[in-house]
Structure 1
Amino acid sequence: MIKLFVSDLDGTLLDHQKEVSDKDIEALKHLKKSGVDICLASGRMDVEIGEILTKIGEKYHRISQNGAFINTDSDESLHALTFESVIAQEVFDVVRAEDFLTIVADYSTNYTERRNEAVTSIESRMFAPITENEQLAEGIGRDIKASKISILGEYESLLPLQKKLRERYPDTIETYISDSQCLDIMPKHISKGNALQMLIQHLDIAPSEIACIGDSFNDIPMFRLTPFSFAMENALPEVKKEAAYTAASVGDAILKVMEINDNNG
């Protein structure tokens, strides 16, 4: 019996216009009414997930910034982790030397050193503004408790940088390609999978009682937790091979979840 359904946002529940389809909203509400808990798990900030839930008209559990923060549907904070100051400063110095747009997040704000057209373009895909802070390098780890550093660029260009960072900081950071043009750098041991384990422990739910859906590499740690994992049909082959099922939409995955529950009811 599946008791918790977890959905990624970008490329999964959200389309390119930052919208959730009426079909998916209806499916989520139907699933919740059937007694299944729901969680949204994203690289986005918690405040952005809140904006999406306002549009849906529901309150769900929330895993934000790839697992750095966990909040229940009653707004109880289960987990919050930021970088150690020295590590955040070192990593930021390394990535800012590369020719990429870099965004630093704390719990509720995204920061960049200087605004430009690229920042404005990225901002249009978010549910919260990006704050310009020309003293960002000095503020990281001091005034700004960084929880995520995001590098924006072409996928083929991000891979060598990811490799470089993994080799230089094997014991202090995690890196995920969270989007075809985004590399997220997180504190060590932060992942959607680890966060989901904390959440289900709090809810007293077994891994075999959860289903999850996503489309990118940062969703794979969730896939590996449960036999009921779904990858979006348009996900990369490397992502799809890690999931038990594929689905065209969140709504379609929910239909399968309902079928599984009906057969085990």
Structure 2
Amino acid sequence: MAAIKALFSDIDGTAIRSDHTMSKAVARSFRDCMDRGCTVVLASSRSPQGMMPLVRSNGLEGVWISAYGGGLLVDECGRTLAEHGFGRALALSIVQFVEERFGDAAAAGVYTAQHWYVKSRKDPRIAREERIVQTTSQEGGPEALEEDETVGKILFICRPEATLSVRDALRQRFGALHVSTSSDILVEVNAAGISKATAVADVCSNLGIAPAETAAIGDAANDLPMLDAAGIAIAMGNAVPAVKEKADFVCGTNDEDGVAEACARLWRS
């Protein structure tokens, strides 16, 4: 691990277990990395607010946060180092397109650095997401956006049978945007050219290091750009096949402390 100066870890399905908690072993492995001088970056599609409860409850003050699938980078002091997104007009068009095409098969969440806008908090899909990330959304939908707010991400929580159709329709209609899936019910929309690989580039630029000096761990399709960009790519044992195919090695599952296993292996190498 001596050559690794930054470690990027996905959260859901990677750093946390199926019950949405982080094990003591995984938290300890992150702290060990930081103690050794390695910058740990939690790279997720979540908002910063949806990541901070994990940081605080596991004693991980000192990590960097890459939120919105590469759309926002915040350092250990809470300073915004990079922000990539799009404006109100495009956000309105994206949400309107999905609503007209798919009706209530998908519930939209629009994320900025400070807000999470939804149509209704009573939607059970939104309520479930609030419980998972321990963050409260704000009703009003994309119409609530200020004219000068930057949208970091739009998340569509879909019925499982509609997820791929929503993804493919968005890719066809908004070809310049980065559209990916992070589970069988989640479709993520980022600005053109923005993915988790952006986080690797932004961190390397700010730290003055090379991508070859980084490692990344993930499980889902939206982690693939990050794994491509990092020097060492690690797949969780529960990862989708495409992620395992991309990886330099596969560790245990998220319920088997796979991240801790991966960190130990990196330090031994």
TM-score, length-scaled by structure 2: 0.89
Counterpart Cα distance in 2 of 1:139 and 1:110: 10
Match among 64, 68, 72 for residue 69 of structure 1: 72
Q: Which runs of 4+ in 1 moved over 4 A?
A: none
1:181 deviates by 1.3
Does 142-151 or 71-80 show the bigger shift?
A: 142-151
Matched-pair contact (CA < 8 Å) for 1:227–1:244: no
User: Does 2:234 align with 1:230?
Assistant: yes
Match among 80, 85, 88 for residue 82 of structure 1: 85
Match among 101, 104, 107 for residue 101 of structure 1: 107
Counterpart Cα distance in 2 of 1:179 and 1:84: 26
Determine the structure 1 residue equivalent to 2:206: 202
* Structure 2 letter corresponding to 1:22: K
Determine the structure 2 residue equivalent to 1:252: 261
1:151 is paired with a residue whose SS is strand
User: Does 2:9 align with 1:37?
Assistant: no
When the two structures are aligned, how many residues end up with a matched partner? Answer: 257
Match among 154, 161, 166 for residue 161 of structure 1: 166
Identity %: 24
Counterpart Cα distance in 2 of 1:116 and 1:222: 32
User: Does 2:118 align with 1:112?
Assistant: yes
Match among 25, 28, 31 for residue 26 of structure 1: 28
Gaps of 5+ in 2: 253-257
Gaps of 5+ in 1: 261-265
Matched-pair contact (CA < 8 Å) for 2:88–2:149: no
1:66 deviates by 0.4
1:183 deviates by 0.3
Matched-pair contact (CA < 8 Å) for 2:155–2:188: yes
Does 182-191 or 99-108 show the bigger shift?
A: 99-108
More helix by share: 2
Deviations 1:126-179 (A, max 9, x none): 12112222xx253346376432111112444211221111111112x1111022
How big is the alpha-carbon RMSD for the aligned residues of Structure 1 and Structure 2? 1.7
* Structure 1 letter corresponding to 2:108: T
* Structure 1 letter corresponding to 2:240: L
1:50 is paired with a residue whose SS is helix
Determine the structure 2 residue equivalent to 1:243: 247
